[in-house]
Structure 1
Amino acid sequence: MQYKQIALSAVIAATTMGAANAATEIQWWHSMTAVNNEWVNDLAKQFNESQSEYKVVPTFKGVYDESMTAAIAAFRSGNAPHILQVFEVGTATMMASKGATVPVGKIMADAGAKFDPSSYIPAVAGYYTAPNGQMLSFPFNSSTTVFYYNKDAFKKAGLDAEKAPKTWPEVFAAAKKLKAAGVSCPMTTSWQGWTQLESFSTWHNVEFATHGNGMGKDGHKARLKLNSPLHVKHINNLAEAAKAGDFVYKGRGSVPDASFVSGECAMTFASSSSYGNVAKNAKFDYGISNLPYYPDAKGAPQNTVIGGASLWAMAGKKAQEYKGVAKFFEFLSKPEIQAASHQRTGYLPVTMESFKMTEASGFYQKNPGTDVAVNQMIRKVTDNSRGVRLGNYVQIRTIEDEELEQVWAGKQSGKQALDNIVKRGDELLARFERANGGK
Structure 2
Amino acid sequence: MALRHFGTAAAVALTVGLGASPALAVTEIQWWHAMTGANNDVIVKLANDFNASQTDYKVVPTYKGNYADTMNAGIAAFRAGNAPHIMQVFEVGTATMMAATGAVKPVYKLMAETGEKFDPKAYLPAITGYYSTSKGEMLSFPFNSSSTVMWVNLDELKKANVAIPKTWPEVFDAAKKLHDNGHPTCGFSNSWVTWVNLEQLSAWHNVPLSTKANGLDGFDTVLEFNGPVQVKHLEKLVELQKDKTYDYAGRTNTGEGRFTSGECPLYLTSSAFFGNVKAQAKFNFTAVPMPYYPDVKGAPQNSIIGGASLWIMGGKSAEEYKGVAKFLTFLSDTDRQVYIHKSSGYLPITKAAYAKAKAEGFYKDQPYLETPLLELTNKEPTENSRGLRLGNMVQLRDVWSEE
Q: Does 2:26 correspond to 1:23? A: yes
Matched, 1:345 2:349: no
- Deviation >4 Å, runs of 4+: none
Which aligned pairs between 1:255-334 and structure 2 lie closer than 5 A?
255-334=254-333
- 1:148 corresponding residue in structure 2: 151
Provide the residue aligned with 1:429 in structure 2: none
| Counterpart secondary structure, 1:221 | coil
- For 2:87 and 2:115, locate their aligned partners in 1 and report how far apart those are by CA, in whole Å: 22
1: distance between equivalents of 2:111 and 2:359?
30
Matched, 1:9 2:11: yes
The 8 Å contact of residues 273 and 346 in structure 1, kept in 2 or not, is answered as yes
Local SS of the residue matching 1:309:
strand
CA contact (8 A) 1:213 1:388 kept: yes
Is 1:370 matched with 2:373? no
Structure 1 vs Structure 2 CA RMSD: 1.2
Kindly state the Cα deviation for residue 18 of structure 1 after the two structures are TM-superposed. Answer: 2.6
- Is contact 2:194-2:251 (8 Å) kept? no
Q: For residue 396 of structure 1, give the secondary structure of its aligned residue in structure 2.
A: helix
Going from structure 1 to structure 2, the CA distance change for 1:11 and 1:262 (only over 3 Å counts) comes to: farther
Q: Structure 2 counterpart of 1:96, which letter?
A: A
Aligned to 2:214: 213
Shift of 1:49: 1.1
Instruction: State how far apart, in whole Å, the 2-side matches of 1:7 and 1:345 are.
Output: 55
Matches within 5 A, 1:96-175: 96-160=99-163, 164-175=164-175
Return the alpha-carbon distance in structure 1 between the equivalents of residues 262 and 158 of structure 2: 14
SS in structure 1 of the partner of residue 265 of structure 2: strand
CA distance in structure 1 between the aligned counterparts of 2:9 and 2:231, rounded to whole angstroms:
81
Between the aligned partners of 2:6 and 2:29, the Cα distance in structure 1 is 39
CA gap of 1:54–1:166, structure 2 versus 1, over 3 A, is same
- The DSSP-based 3-state class of the residue aligned with 1:84 is strand
Residue aligning to 1:194? 195
Mind listing any 5+ residue stretches in structure 2 that lack a counterpart?
Answer: none
CA distance in 1, matches of 2:30, 2:20: 21
Identity %: 51
On the 8 A contact 2:30/2:59 being kept in 1, the answer is yes
1:3: Cα distance to partner?
4.0
How far residue 378 of structure 1 moved from its aligned partner, in angstroms, is: 2.0
Report the residue type matching 1:343 in the other structure: K
Once the two structures are superposed, residues 249-292 of structure 1 have per-residue CA deviations (whole angstroms, 9 ceiling, x without a partner) of 12120112111011111111000100011011101111110000
What amino acid maps onto 2:216 in structure 1?
A: M
What's the CA shift for 1:350? 1.2
Amino acid of the structure 1 residue aligned with 2:388: V
Equivalent residue letter for 2:299:
A
Structure 2: how far apart are the matches of 1:7 and 1:400?
Answer: 73
Deviations 1:47-83 (A, max 9, x none): 1111122111111111111111111121122211111
Is the contact made by 1:100 and 1:314 (CA closer than 8 Å) also made in structure 2?
yes
Q: Report deviation, 1:199.
A: 0.6
Cα deviation digits, residues 26-53 of structure 1 (max 9, x gap): 1111111111111000001111111122
TM-score (norm 1): 0.89
Offset from partner CA, 1:74-118 (integer Å, 9 cap, x none): 112221111111111111000000100010000001111111111
Counterpart in 1 of 2:41? 38
Aligned to 1:399: 399
How many aligned positions are there? 398
Answer yes or no: is 1:61 the counterpart of 2:64: yes
- Is 1:225–2:224 an aligned residue pair? yes
Partner of 1:437: none
TM-score (norm 2): 0.96
Q: Distance in 1 between matches of 2:149 and 2:306?
A: 11
Deviations 1:364-421 (CA, angstroms, capped at 9, x unpaired): 1111311101111123111110001100001001111111xxxxxxxxxxxxxxxxxx
